[in-house]
Chain A
Amino acid sequence: MAKNQLFFLLVFSTTISFAQGPPITTQTPVMLGLEGNGIRTFGKFISKEKANAYVQVFAVPYNISSKFQVGGILPYKSISPKGMSSTNGFSDVILFAKYQLYKQDGKAKTFRVLANVKQTFPTGNTSNMPAIGSGLSQTYIGLIIGKITSSVGFYNDFGYTLSNKGATDSFSYNFSVGIPLLPQKYPQKQLNSFLEFNGNYLFDSKIHTLFISPGLQFIPGRRFLFETSFQIPVIQQNIRANKTNYMLLLGTRFLLN
């Protein structure tokens, strides 16, 4: 695998796997309200030993039905290696689809399982160093599982990413626990706290990364939310150079209709 591609996968593997709704860095099986027909954008600052990067992500989900959602993700990236000139531009476009496989609803609680497919297209520029795009077509197949009650939410997503051009395949996994800090009434201002874990394993290079990500989310009304998450590395196995120091996410989501 080309060094350029490995650099890309190491820097951005955790930024691609983002959530469509609460929680912050794990996906949710609920495709309603702020998870439905709205827009999500967040900025992520990534501090590494030999580079800093900033990613601004725009994501638009669309509910075809209550069980089926499609959408697109457009990331804008800026990479500043230490001692080198920075590069920036729109990166690889991602299209995704989610389908609800199972649902068990109760009074103020739900358990849902979704199938999740993502296709990454190599639309980002690869001519500069470091590259903004991966130059790879990648297909992700995974599951999203969640149990949500009015007092706590458990979320989990995991999946396998197939890459072309001989690049390494990977397995990513995210887990989140969300606890509301204010009484769960409707409509009301909400303040939610999250403790999340974001893992990724690259098969060929046997690189395993795991981040612990505490986060806060403020929902001032029906249509807006603001969120932040601080991602700290706890495992960076087989990475010899340019380890990640931390990642900081600041984002918002809003409903259009």
Chain B
Amino acid sequence: MKKLFKKTPFIALVFAFLFFGQTTVKAQNKSDHVYIKIEVNGMACPYCAFGMEKQLKKVSGVDNVKIQLKEGLAYIATLKKQKPLKESLALIITNAGFTPGKIEYSDKPFVIKDTPKTKE
């Protein structure tokens, strides 16, 4: 039992290191990213939004695409070093069959409000 008490500060230190170390890594990952909001005009139906999602996932470094249909918006995130140019994003949207609108970059994630669950 005495041995266990003697070892407790060491174990706590190891846990603290693991916990804070992980948090630091996560924070580092977030600061490495650039968040992009894209206006996609013409995206009027859920079945055609899938085409947009597929094309945006092909952008280098993008693994997650969020689509807000009613707002006509698509959100992606990628590493800063892989930040795509506005021109190349606009071309992807055009080639997917839609019309590109405003494209915004941010160091912080965009606040995405879920569409209220009412019939549109």
Contact = CB atoms under 8 A, between A and B. Distances in A.
**Which size bracket describes the interface of A in this complex?**
35 or more
B21 interface: no
- Name the residue among B39, B44, B99, B118 with the largest chain A CB count within 10 angstroms: B44
A90 to B, nearest CB: 29
A105 B119 CA distance: 23
Interface residues of B, number: 32
A186 B49 contact: yes
A65 B97 CA distance: 8
Contacts of B99: 103, 105
A125 interface: no
A185 interface: yes
- Name the residue among A30, A32, A67, A180 with the largest chain B CB count within 10 angstroms: A32
Interface string A17-51: 00001100000001111111000000000000000
A148 B96 contact: no
A148 B118 CA distance: 19
Contacts of A33: 45, 47-51
B28 interface: no
Contacts of B70: 108, 150, 184-185
- Name the residue among A35, A65, A66 with the largest chain B CB count within 10 angstroms: A66
B120 interface: yes
Given A32-B97, A105-B99, A21 B69 contact: no
Contacts of A148: 44-45
Contact of B45 (A22, A182, A183): A22
Given A66-B96, A107-B41, A108-B69, A190 B46 contact: yes
Given A183-B117, A186-B67, A255-B50, A106 B45 contact: no
Interface in A130-185: 148-151, 153, 180, 182-185
A73 interface: no
A179 B106 CA distance: 37
Contact of A150 (B45, B51, B67): B45
Contact of A184 (B50, B51, B95, B120): B120
Interface in B34-69: 39, 41-53, 67-69
Contacts of A110: 41-44
A187 interface: yes
Given A109-B44, A185-B70, 4 more contacts: A66-B94, A107-B41, A148-B45, A187-B67
Interface of B: 39, 41-53, 67-72, 94-99, 101, 115, 117-120
Interface of A: 21-22, 30-36, 65-67, 103, 105-110, 148-151, 153, 180, 182-188, 190, 219, 222-223, 225, 255
User: Sorted from nearest, which 6 A-B pairs have the closest CB atoms?
Assistant: A105-B42, A66-B97, A105-B99, A32-B51, A32-B48, A105-B41
